[in-house]
Structure formats: C-alpha cells, structure tokens
Structure 1
C-alpha cells in the first residue's frame, strides 16, 4: 500500500514537468533578393544560410541546414554550416532557371549538364547519372526518389524523368509554363505556375510568390487546392502533405484532401520566396 502511494506521488510530481515540456516551433527557409541574393532561415530569429550570387541558381535542402547553388562560372557549391564544398564544375552558370534540387533526405543534390541530369552527395562523392531530359528548368525531385520534373528552356513543356529507366516523358496538357515548385512523393502531381500567355514568360528567375497550380502529370488535368483566399505558393513536405502559402502570411497544411493545421509565417516575408518548411521537433 505504501508502495502504491509512493508511486502515485511520483506520477503526480512527474506529470506537470511533461505537460510543460517546450515544443519546438516550425522553421522556414526563404530565398531573398533583399540586400543581395541569399538563402535565409527563420528559426526564432533570422539566420543567413548562404549568399548565392547575382544570378541565383539555388536550392535549399529540406533539413533547413544545407544550400546548393551554381556560380556564374558554372561551379556547383554546397554549403553545410560554415563549410563550402565544390561538388561539380563546368556547368552552365548565369542561367537563373537551371536550379539544382535536393533529395528528400537532404543527402544528395541533382543538377543538369546539357540535358543530362546527375546527382552527387553533399560532400562531392557518389556522383551518378539519373537520366536525360529536356525538362531542365527549376528541377523538382519527388520525395519517393524515383521521379524528377522540370520545364524546358523554351518554357513550352514539362518533362518528368523516371530515374529507374533514365528516360523522360513529356507531360500532356501544357502550353506555357514558368515554374515547377515540387512533385508529390509518387511523382504523379506537380506544383507549377502557368503564365497567361507567351508574353509573360520572364527570364526564369525563381519567383518570390506565384499562384500555384496542382497538375496531374498523367492525365494533364488541373486539380483543386482545398484552401480559400489568395494563394501565393505551395510545396510538398516530406510526409507527402501539401503546404499552401496564402497572402495572409498563413501556411495551410493539407493531407489527403483535408486541412490538418495552419502555420503562421514570421513578419517581414512578403518579398521572400518560401523554399522549405522544417517541422518542429
């Protein structure tokens, strides 16, 4: 009986501590043109992860720690903390749409050389060829690892690369396209931006905000986004859920067609492009 009383007392003492345990907040990674092109992170304060040059061809890793970019001279750099590693050279620099892309586990970065898409580990080792595609602009890599997508330099087609075969297929139903933000884990659905006409193609720079369209890469049809209001971006999270950015500085997370939570963005982000949402742990 004394043992039970002691146990009950221990539980009483422990429970408040667990209940008041601090929960880590979500962090956000942005690309900013403010005071020079750079990738910045909000994690209870602003941190500059990397400066990416005046013609930014960049990508932020899903872990919120690493940044990859291509210099004007065609060198692919990876910054991890304070360390900067050159992982590829003799690439096409000075072309804003030719952005690299990280794998979902943040261990590899994919990039283009001509129409060949390659991948290399963050430390420069393990280089491999993924395949050949005409879709080389604003690469997106599905979390499942099998598919990559990008649009053509002429901005008139979207191609999806199957890394198991090394071959790419043209996605039906697209006339003009100016951005690819992400692919669903199975590679079926792409987050894209469509211009109104050929006179609004731009120069391929990464948009600070865009009206996202969910596009079925098999059927060539647009899919509904179950979020109201003015949408200013979207991306897929590692668990396959869709994070939809709104003008009200709120990110609505959608899973299986249903809204599951809303995240408030930090102040002062209207001129910044959302690259990653790093879930709190």
Structure 2
C-alpha cells in the first residue's frame, strides 16, 4: 500500500536521514487538500441544533465568546506564521516544518535539524523576540514530527529520536525544566494534547491509524474506526473525541506538512463511531478549545467562517474571518 512509504520518514532522526526516505516524504503532497488555492461559495449554517451525543468534558458555564484572534499559517519562501491582522509572528526557512503554536498564541515550539527543541517568543509591542533551546534528542527530519503544547501553554510534548516506528514521547516545560518520558507510541505525527493533560494523540507515520498515548499509565492504543489518516487536529478536553483528516486507500498520503485546509472528521476514541458535525458547507478545518467547544471552519467565496459549537453540538457563535486569511491555515483561535 502506498501509505507505507511514509513509515521511515515519520521516524527520521537528526543524524540519519537517507535519500530514499527524503524522497518518500516529498511524495505526492500536491494531491492532499492541504494547500488548496481556491474556496468555492458555500453557505455556513447550522443544519440542526439537536444535541450530538457527546461525552466530552462539559464546557464552562459561560465561556467567553471568541474574538476571532488567532494564528495563521502560510507557505512561500518557507513557513510563515501571522496573526489574524496580518502581523508577522515567526518564519521558518529550514525546510523541516516541525513546529507548533502555543494555545495562547504567544510562543512557537520547533525542532531543528540537530534534534534540538526550541521555544521562540515572537516580539510583541516594544518587546524583543527570544529563542531558547529547551531540550535535545528530538526526532527530526520529517515535517509531521511536530511538538504539542499543553492547554495552559506551559509544557511541550515531543517524540524522541529513534530507529523504530514506535517512538518514545517526552514532556518538558517551556522553560526547559522537568523533562520526563511519558511512554512510546506509533502515533508520533502531528501530536495533539487533551486539555486535561491525560492524553496525547497522533497518526502513524505510515498513515495507518491514529493512536492515543495515556500519559498516566504510559500505554498506547489505536483508535478504532480510523483506518487511514494524515493529520490530527485536536482532542476534546477528556480525550474522548479526536479531530482528524481521514483519507481513503487511493488518496495521496502527503508529505506530513501542516495543512492549510483539510476535511475534518470527528471520532469517538473509544467506540470508533464517527460523529456528524451539524454544519453545512465545505468544511476546511476544526479545532477543539480547552473548554470543550469545537470551532469548525467553513470555506466562503470571499472570507471563511468559523462556527463555534458546544460539546453537545449547539451553535454558540458564528465568526467571519478576515478575507486576507482565506487561503491560510488556521492553527489557533481565541
């Protein structure tokens, strides 16, 4: 099966990157809807406000409405991160693409070609940008091997270098303190962390399934119902639901880079049941917020829309994104 071509690429180390593996990682990424350059006219409206069966942790009694602030992703001469207003935050021209933005939108964790985990704090106002190496020995060389932030933006999980598909995941404070290993998993690609701190999720480097890592028991298991996937976008606060980009056997696996858009699917991580999203239109992304709300991104003719749903599937808020961000990927929203 073509998806096995990514198996080696997902576990590249900073010290051994073969030419054949690099070619596999650079496979038919153009077929993945990650870098689409068009968005057709779609109306973003809730079809039904009936409760969607949910077992996620309950949202706050009165969650603060989203302001539309967030961090966006674009590709050009490298990777560039910008705010919703277009202010430049961070640029990566290394070609590795192993980074993630903290939930508060203030920090970027990234891994360089030598397996060093950095935390960069972009300049804000009159402040100065800073960059600090907080850990070493990270798996590097594959763009899907991205670090994951905790919900409070204080800790970072990242895969350690190794030669097997199953890699050990470590956790360290954003200040470089408290390094600890939390277990090994096959789901090392595009790690994401539940808000309760208990569960990490990622897809296998071969794209064959999504795996959960329990940071308390340090055990890993595969999520039922998801045969193939090439992106994991978020977990509900209790880890009971996961947002993924599920693909078919004839779909291109892609190169593991952050997508600028994808068709989101939500699955119950225990039963494998796919949860229908009560939103109409061409869906191009979805993110879980730390309180259990789900922000669903819908493509528009001139601007995309964010539909914010409660854990039960009720519409809470509708936001129109700025037109300038229509073709950019959404990484964080506040």
**TM-score normalized by the length of structure 2:** 0.73
Q: CA deviation at 1:165?
A: 0.3
**Paired residue for 1:62?**
103
**Paired residue for 2:209?**
157
Instruction: List structure 1 segments (4+ residues) > 4 angstroms apart after TM superposition.
Output: none
Contact 2:240 2:269 in 1 (8 A): yes
d(CA) in 2 for partners of 1:98, 1:222: 26
The superposition leaves residues 50-97 of structure 1 with CA deviations (integer Å, 9 ceiling, x where unpaired) of 223322011001101011111123221111231111112232222011
Contact 2:145 2:189 in 1 (8 A): yes
Residue pairs, 1:235-246, within 5 angstroms: 235-246=287-298
Residue pairs, 1:117-156, within 5 angstroms: 117-156=169-208
Q: CA deviation at 1:24?
A: 9.6
**Paired residue for 1:181?**
233
d(CA) in 2 for partners of 1:127, 1:50: 25
d(CA) in 2 for partners of 1:124, 1:258: 40
**Paired residue for 1:262?**
318
**Paired residue for 1:19?**
none
Contact 2:186 2:211 in 1 (8 A): yes
Contact 1:230 1:246 in 2 (8 A): yes
Determine helix, strand or coil for the equivalent of 2:247. coil
d(CA) in 1 for partners of 2:113, 2:145: 12
The superposition leaves residues 97-136 of structure 1 with CA deviations (integer Å, 9 ceiling, x where unpaired) of 1010100000011100131111111111111112111110
Q: CA deviation at 1:48?
A: 2.0
Q: CA deviation at 1:41?
A: 1.5
Contact 2:70 2:105 in 1 (8 A): yes
* Equivalent pairs, count: 254
**Paired residue for 2:125?**
none
**Paired residue for 2:120?**
79
Q: CA deviation at 1:47?
A: 2.2
Please, which moves more after superposition, 64-73 or 137-146?
64-73
The superposition leaves residues 9-50 of structure 1 with CA deviations (integer Å, 9 ceiling, x where unpaired) of xxxxxxxxxxxxxx99431111211342022222xx322222
d(CA) in 1 for partners of 2:98, 2:317: 32
Matching of residue 40 in structure 1 with residue 96 in structure 2: no
**Paired residue for 1:250?**
305
Q: Which runs of 5+ in 2 are unaligned?
A: 1-64, 123-128
Determine helix, strand or coil for the equivalent of 1:169. strand
d(CA) in 2 for partners of 1:198, 1:58: 28
**TM-score normalized by the length of structure 1:** 0.86
Contact 2:294 2:309 in 1 (8 A): yes
Q: 1:27 aligns with which of 53, 69, 77?
A: 69
Distance 1:172 1:193, change over 3 A: same
d(CA) in 2 for partners of 1:192, 1:86: 30
Q: Which runs of 5+ in 1 are unaligned?
A: 1-22
**Paired residue for 1:89?**
136
Determine helix, strand or coil for the equivalent of 1:268. helix
**Paired residue for 2:90?**
50
d(CA) in 1 for partners of 2:138, 2:169: 11
Matching of residue 272 in structure 1 with residue 328 in structure 2: yes
Calculate the aligned-residue CA RMSD, in Å. Answer: 1.6
